Structure 1
Amino acid sequence: MEVIVMYSIGLIVISFIIAVTKSKLKGKAGEVTINHFLKKLDSNEYIIINDFLLHNEGNKKTTQ
C-alpha cells in the first residue's frame, strides 16, 4: 500500500512540473525557430530588434 501511495505522489509531482514548464518550453522552441529564420535574412537590408517594448499611453502599461 505504501508503494502505491509513493508512486501516486511521484506521478502527481511529475505531472505538476510538466504542466508548469510546458508553456515555457513551447515559447523557447518558438523563439529558436523564429531566430533561425531571421538569421537567414540579408543583414544589409534588415535589422533585427529583440525584446522591443512599446509604451502604451492609454493604460500606462507596456506592450510587445
Structure 2
Amino acid sequence: MIASIIEELPDKDELRRLMEKGGCMTTVEELGLSRKIIRKTMQISPYMRNRLTLMRFLKMMEID
C-alpha cells in the first residue's frame, strides 16, 4: 500500500518546481549559513524534533 502511494507522488523535478513556486528554500546554501555550521546542522537535525524525518531515517540507516 505504501509503495502504491509513493508511485503517485510527483518526481523530484516537479517537487522542486512546486517548492520554488511556493517560495520554499530547496538547498541548505539558501539558509545563508557557513559550511561548518551546515555540516553540524545536518548531524544534529534528526534529533531536534520528535518525529521520523528523512534525516533521522538516514541516521538510523547509518548513511552519510
Does the pair score TM above 0.5?
Answer: no
Q: Which has more radius of gyration?
A: 1
- Which TM-score applies when normalising by structure 2? 0.22
- Which TM-score applies when normalising by structure 1? 0.22
Whose strand fraction is larger, Structure 1's or Structure 2's?
1
Whose helix fraction is larger, Structure 1's or Structure 2's?
2
